[in-house]
Chains A and B, each alone.
Chain A
Amino acid sequence: MSLDMPMTEIETWYSVSQFYTREARHLDDLEFDKWIGCMEKDVRYWMPIVSNRIGRDIGTELTRLGELAHFEDDFESLSNRVKRLATGRAWAETPPGRTNHMVSNVELLGEKDGLTKARSQFLIYRSHLETDQEIFSGTRIDRLRPDPDTGWKIAERTIILDHAVLTQKSLGIFF
């Protein structure tokens, strides 16, 4: 592929998929500094809350921006979350949990203002301490900016967790 030629859609798809695999590996291998390196400095990392609705309220299950969310972070607060893990006294992760981030169903949803929109599904298994087992399942919708070092950087990530009442003891991991 010539460098001055735009990527074909399949090349972009492959590149985004590889980026997600690498990002997941950073999380599973506890390489949080490298994971933070996948984020743009103006990133918005947001996980709204899902609830059960019926009838004409179907379609309004997610809280909106400005309402309560599970995560509403920027680069600084995400970096602080990572910094906390490195103190050795972040007890939820001391000793650290063992996670397996599985990312699939990567789908490109178009490009706007130099950002590529991508949707993916995740299934994360987490084992902690003796017998604690947690499964997190959901959807991510990202806006990605091409980056010469990491392939892509995440400018915006919306995470939709499938759980209305979390059976996991906390959201102490990243998605």
Chain B
Amino acid sequence: MLDTQSSHFSHLVDLTKGELNRSIFSDPAIYERELKQIFARCWLFLGHVTQLPNENDFFTAYMGEDPVIVTRHSDGKIGAFLNMCRHRGNRVCRADSGNQRTFTCPFHGWTFGNTGELKVVPGYKQVYHEELDMEAHGLIPVARIDDYKGMIFATFDKNAPSLDEYLGDMAWYLDMAVDRRDNGIEFLPGVHKWRIKCNWKFPVDNFIGDSYHGPVSHGSAWESGFEGMPRRKKGYGYEGFQVNAGNGHGFGARWAENEEQVYEMVLPEFLGYEKERFPETHARLGDLRGMHLSPMHCSIFPNFSMLWQSGNMRVWHPRGVSNTEGWSWCFVDKKASQEHRDLVRIHDLQRHGTSGTWEQDDVDNWVQSTMSSRGYVGRQVKQNLSMGVNHEIDDPKSIHPDFRGRIAGFQNEINQRNLYAQWGRMMDGESPVVPGANA
């Protein structure tokens, strides 16, 4: 085991060689430190505002291993609190979602308002002799909560930078999912939740930049009728970029030269909708974001991932060093017709999430990569992230003047390298926003 008290986590990631110490996937002491340095300090994705349409609506979520309740108060504001009674620590809410003004702990009946304040303690006079400080025993609130165009994030670190700073250039790229049309997106009701016996970083790594595994891992789905988007077209369709947006966030996108190529990359059943929405998206987002980039996969540090064209967002909750719980949602443009919503939902669930023909073939890869990190000998062998290490694109603005961040060819592990660089910085106690710190 490593000495987790000294400041040396960045050294487990060698950016010049593209090598990684495998113990970060198996060492319980490292995992414990991740809960503190990463999950208690980063902005974490909780859900979407459309999951809380009404006053007093709530859903439960997790921040790291800490359960939280996310509520919409009567004043319309959204808050989040530890789902933990201040008496014995029992969960005050056992539902996944609902509508409640108060939460009563099932253990002894302490009752909290959905703004967190402790309202009722049974026997306050008789057994507590009115000596319990009610004001000091409300539900523990998150330090900060905010949303980016409807996407709710929160952090337990009161010294964290703002959400805008934390997302940095990634927010601007996120518009390609959340701001393509007027009124943005909404989440469909229902969440896929499932456990995978892997370290949480493997799926994040996979989604942030692994465009390499597709043909091998997902070939069977692709050729059996579960084709994905953007479709590969020989000549130009295989082209595209990995874009590193900084602060450990990144995505991969295919490249369309013109509007015609946008339509060629779309599955036939989505063509009508693409033609309907293209002029609006192009007008809102411009050439680079509204036409050239057809984004596919992404991760936002530390544990949010997205499959843009499939309408799929998810988080990877850590559940011990070798266990992860995936939560996967389906999103659609608010302006989408019912017909298009049906197509997106079916496209998504037949490929991604619990029964997904793509998803299920990823799982054992992540499980086995985790298991191999547990053997003493295997753990001494470096994880290889070297793809294209000396082949990043020096001047992204020569490709297009609007590009932000760093870019490389579509098959390049630039995003994984920067994911682990951010991991090392956070583990060493640095701020999640480090200007110019990208590799």
Contact = CB atoms under 8 A, between A and B. Distances in A.
A169 B197 contact: yes
Contacts, number: 135
A81 B193 CA distance: 21
A57 B56 CA distance: 14
B235 interface: no
B94 A52 contact: yes
Contact of B354 (A66, A90, A170): A170
A48 B188 CA distance: 13
Contact of A165 (B194, B346, B350): B194
B190 A83 contact: no
A68 B223 CA distance: 25
Q: Is the interface of B mostly helix, strand, loop or mixed?
A: mixed
B95 interface: yes
B249 to A, nearest CB: 26
Interface string B374-390: 00000000000000000
B192 A70 contact: yes
Interface string A115-155: 00000000000000100000000000000000000000000
Interface stretch (B76-84, B150-158, B362-370): B362-370
Contacts of B359: 170
Contacts of B189: 63-64, 67-68
A171 B188 contact: no
A153 B354 CA distance: 26
A90 B220 contact: yes
B331 to A, nearest CB: 10
A77 B225 contact: yes
Contact of A164 (B193, B196, B329, B363): B193
Given A47-B355, A168-B194, A92 B342 contact: no
Interface of B: 94-100, 188-197, 216-217, 219-221, 223-226, 325, 329-330, 338, 341-342, 345-346, 348-350, 353-357, 359-361, 363-365, 367
28 contacts: A51-B190, A53-B97, A57-B95, A57-B99, A63-B189, A63-B190, A66-B338, A68-B188, A68-B189, A68-B190, A68-B353, A70-B192, A70-B355, A72-B346, A73-B350, A84-B220, A88-B220, A89-B219, A90-B220, A92-B360, A165-B193, A168-B194, A168-B195, A169-B196, A169-B197, A169-B363, A170-B359, A172-B360
